[in-house]
């Protein structure tokens, strides 16, 4: 019994961050992961790259695959333009429960919808369920072997449009070789690799930004 790591991360947020202050929530999680317990958030170094891509796209509609504790959810949502909305899919109900509370502590619950379930089950229903025409931005951070099948599903469901920006975490560590090969070889994508490091470590990792060309 006892607490789980996501629950201890949430407690660190509630003890260290100021309600409604998303920057303090991000800082509290980074502090917890650097000084207490490592956790698989995108982290501050790759998070800075995520911020720059989100700011550049300024998405009205954004999708995140893999919420975990909501760290990247908060990083994305705090940068959305007025009217912007983020849907985040999480398979693990315990992660989703913690993420909802982290997102609420940051005061961003009005811009974010946490959806529980398997990404492959939900993607075909996003249009009818949420009235989404297509996504301006997609952040991939869930199970690494699902990146490729899920973007193929997004294509098939017509949820990508000319110019949709995909940003994928962990393309080096743990690695997503089949996804990387696909987006780098496909005529339908223009891809660029941003080298960085695995969150809170010196191990190599990076983000792949891929623009869908239709």
Q: At what angle do helices 93-105 and 22-35 cross, to 10 degrees?
A: 130
Which residue has the closest beta carbon to Mg ion?
169
Distance separating alpha carbons of residues 164 and 162, to the nearest angstrom: 6
CB of 118: closest distance to ligand 77P in angstroms? 9
Q: Any residues with CB less than 8 A from the CB of 142 and at least 6 apart, and which?
A: 65, 66, 89, 90, 91, 119, 150
Q: Parallel, antiparallel, or unpaired: how do β-strands 160-168 and 204-212 relate?
A: antiparallel
Q: Which is nearer to ligand 77P, 70 or 84 (CB)?
A: 70
Determine if 66 is a binding residue for ligand 77P (CB under 6 A).
yes
Instruction: Give CA–CA dist 113/79, Å, rounded.
Output: 16
Nearer to ligand 77P among residue 96 and residue 159 (C-beta): 96
Q: Taking the chain, what is the end-to-end CA distance rounded to the nearest angstrom?
A: 50
Active site residue 199: yes
Please state the closest distance from residue 72 (CB atom) to Mg ion, in A: 8
Near Mg ion in 101-160, by CB under 5 A:
141
Q: How far is CA 84 from CA 121, 124, 203, in A?
A: 24, 21, 34
User: Of 61, 73, 119, 170, which one interacts with Mg ion (CB under 5 A)?
Assistant: 170
Determine whether 144 is an active site residue: yes
Instruction: Answer yes or no whether residue 91 interacts with ligand 77P by CB under 6 A.
Output: yes
Name which of residues 119 to 138 contact ligand 77P (CB under 6 A): none
Smallest distance from Mg ion to CB 46, Å: 8
In the complex, which residues of this chain contact Mg ion (CB under 5 A)? Answer: 141, 169-170
């Amino acid at each position: 019994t006892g607490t789980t790591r996501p629950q201890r991360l949430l407690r660190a947020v509630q003890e260290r961050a100021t309600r409604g202050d998303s920057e303090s929530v991000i800082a509290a999680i980074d502090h917890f992961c650097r000084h207490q317990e490592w956790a698989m958030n995108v982290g501050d170094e790759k998070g800075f790259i995520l911020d720059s891509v989100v700011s550049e796209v300024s998405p009205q509609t954004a999708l995140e695959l893999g919420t975990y504790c909501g760290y990247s959810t908060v990083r994305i949502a705090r940068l959305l333009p007025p009217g912007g909305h983020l849907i985040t899919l999480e398979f693990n109900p315990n992660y989703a429960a913690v993420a909802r509370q982290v997102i609420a502590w940051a005061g961003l619950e009005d811009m974010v919808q946490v959806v529980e379930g398997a990404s492959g089950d939900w993607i075909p229903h996003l249009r009818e369920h949420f009235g989404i025409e297509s996504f301006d931005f997609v952040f991939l951070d869930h199970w690494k072997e699902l990146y490729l099948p899920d973007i193929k599903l997004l294509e098939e469901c017509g949820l990508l449009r000319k110019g949709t920006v995909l940003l994928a975490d962990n393309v080096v560590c743990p690695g997503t070789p089949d996804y990387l090969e696909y987006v780098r070889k496909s005529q339908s994508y223009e891809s660029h690799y941003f080298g960085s490091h695995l969150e809170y470590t010196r191990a190599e990792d990076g983000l792949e930004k891929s623009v869908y060309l239709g």
